[in-house]
Chains A and B, each alone.
Chain A
Amino acid sequence: MARMKFLCDADRCIECNACVTACKNEHEVPWGVNRRRVVTINDGQPGERSISTACMHCSDAPCMAVCPVDCFYQTDEGVVLHDKDLCIGCGYCFYACPFGAPQYPQAGNFGGRGKMDKCTFCAGGPKEDGSEEEFALYGRNRLAEGKLPLCAEMCSTKALLAGDADAVSDIYRERVTARGFGGGVWGWNTAYGSDT
């Protein structure tokens, strides 16, 4: 079974934000919720790099560990999903997440944040695959249709890769060999542990 991972090649990302737009459009994500974002470090200075980031679907996911109602689950492919029918909007996953992935539809006062929303690796949620209910709560289930996440599929420079970890690693390794340098497999040790 494949282990799904994201990889963002910081030497290729041009901060076009197409991944962000694609994600928002594909899943009809509500206003104010950003499942994916592009961060630019050293903006306007030598060594400027941009990185597209979202939920990394960690191996030992901190969100899963701290959720008081245990609403998270990890699929056989390593995708971390959650059940919005269980979520109580406590915000603990957001405090625990290294990547700032969990999003809340309401800016919370009085602890009222609404149900947490995050990147699903285009794998929907616990509802029936491809159902309207699943789309309304979690967005498109492209994995069930045999497709990969749209953000990476649409990436114009192919900076963002998504798919089976071995395939993604091979592509990146080839690139590093060919061009003679690598900007780093950003975030992988944080998400997947030091053996990756």
Chain B
Amino acid sequence: MSQQLRAFLTAVSVIVGLTAAGYGVAIMGAAVVSSDTDTVVEQSGRSDGWRGVRTGTAGRVSIPDPQAGVLIQSDGEIWRSIRNGPVTVIGAWGMFAMLVLLVLFYAWRGRIALAGKPAHREVVRFNGIERFAHWMTATSFIVLALSGLNLLYGRYLFIPVIGKEAFATVTEAGKVLHNFVAFPFMFGVVLMFVLWVRHNLPARTDLNWIRQGGGLFSDRHHPAADRFNTGQKAIFWIVVLGGISVSLSGLALLLPFAFPMFGKTFAFLNLFGFGFPETLTSMQEMQLAQLWHSVVSLGLIVVMFAHIYIGTIGMEGAFQAMGSGRVDAAWAEQHHSLWAASAEEAPAEDDAVPSAVREGQG
């Protein structure tokens, strides 16, 4: 088991690393392009010094902050062009594309219904602590996503509508909220990892699930699945790894200039033969943290659209699993056949709400 886990984690870290590598290469490429745009009227012999200033060499300054010694830092222009360019544009298209995809899927497939009759007998799908972990992460994620998206897109979307003053007030509140709600989010991610990691290790049945397209495209197929099917496992690892990554880069932004980690990450990646810069200025660290934070967040938001869809309108009986924590035995048998046998029977008088009412809510 532990060997399996280790192999899997290695594979995942390589994937995450390669994505990070892509950005590093983009930034370095941009640096090479833009580093020599300033031409200085110069006499020979002194031009090297001026070129150094142009590319970020620091001088001496009487202010305690050594960063003040840098006369020109060009990386800000690269940061600006990536943030205001690809991050903003691709992020918006990504979210739009996912929404269109889900609408089309719903139009074609409709709500995936329970085949046959419900058993009118319930089993426990998620217990109290599991639902607590899920909903704490979910609600804090939504607050973080909205306040974060507001920083990237609000200027274009809301200022024309509500004006600069009202927008600044809302955004300031959003910033404070973002800083504090980050902590329940981080706690939730850790809790979910601890609770569910043993159910989310890859297994042989996952190959079968993938081969059958998860049963998403036809009512006839319901590939066998344990407590979590392959799609859910994918969501789990995306949330855990993406959540950790977004938390670390978020902490770096929360405590400015105190938490450099991209230099160390690049040094680690260079062990695998990448040529990343290992000595970064604290300013470059902040710029990379901001870019990485927004890229990972946008990725998580796009994935969460699909997760929310399939957990609510996309599938009958799915919301109930995380809502009341109890599902119909027939549903459990259909969607999680390998798990259903071992599932615990839900106590009848667990709460006062009759089963029929709960189904109506789901």
Binding site for B on A (CB under 8 A): 17, 34, 37-43, 47, 49, 51, 53, 62, 65-71, 83, 85-92, 95-100, 108-111, 113, 176, 181-187, 189-190, 194
Contact = CB atoms under 8 A, between A and B. Distances in A.
Given A37-B63, A88-B168, A182 B73 contact: no
Given A88-B168, A95-B79, 19 more contacts: A17-B62, A34-B63, A39-B59, A41-B60, A53-B71, A62-B80, A66-B79, A69-B171, A70-B155, A88-B171, A88-B172, A89-B175, A91-B286, A95-B287, A108-B256, A111-B254, A184-B41, A186-B71, A190-B37
Contacts of B155: 67-70
Interface string B35-76: 001111111011001101110011111110001111111101
B256 A187 contact: no
Contacts of A37: 61-63, 68
Interface of B: 37-43, 45-46, 49-50, 52-54, 57-63, 67-74, 76-77, 79-80, 83-84, 150-152, 154-155, 159, 164-165, 167-168, 171-172, 175, 179, 253-256, 258, 283, 286-287, 290
Contacts of B37: 189-190, 194
Contacts of B258: 109
Please list the 4 inter-chain residue pairs (A to B) with the smallest Cβ-Cβ separation, ordered nearest first.
A41-B59, A184-B40, A86-B168, A39-B59
Contacts of B38: 187, 189-190
B41 A185 contact: yes
Nearest to B39: A189
Which of B42, B46, B286 is the most central at the interface, judged by chain A CB atoms within 10 Å of its CB?
B46
Contacts of A92: 290
B27 to A, nearest CB: 13
Given A96-B77, A110-B179, A65 B84 contact: yes
Secondary structure type dominating chain A contacts: loop
Contacts of A185: 40-41
Contacts of A67: 155
Given A42-B49, A109-B255, A189-B39, A62 B71 contact: no
Nearest to A172: B41
Contacts of A71: 164, 168
Given A69-B171, A88-B172, A98 B74 contact: yes
A62 B39 CA distance: 20
Secondary structure type dominating chain B contacts: helix
A184 B70 CA distance: 17
A49 B175 contact: no
B80 A49 contact: no
A13 B246 CA distance: 46
Nearest to B258: A109
A68 B171 contact: yes
A185 B303 CA distance: 50
Contacts of B57: 41
B59 A69 contact: no
Nearest to B68: A37
Given A53-B71, A70-B159, A100-B70, A39 B61 contact: yes
A69 B153 CA distance: 10
Nearest to A10: B50
B71 A99 contact: yes
B72 A85 contact: no
Nearest to A109: B255
A68 B76 CA distance: 15
A99 B72 contact: yes
A86 B164 contact: yes
Contacts of B172: 88
A71 B283 CA distance: 22
Contact of A95 (B46, B69, B71, B286): B286
Contacts of A87: 168
Contacts of B59: 39-43, 51
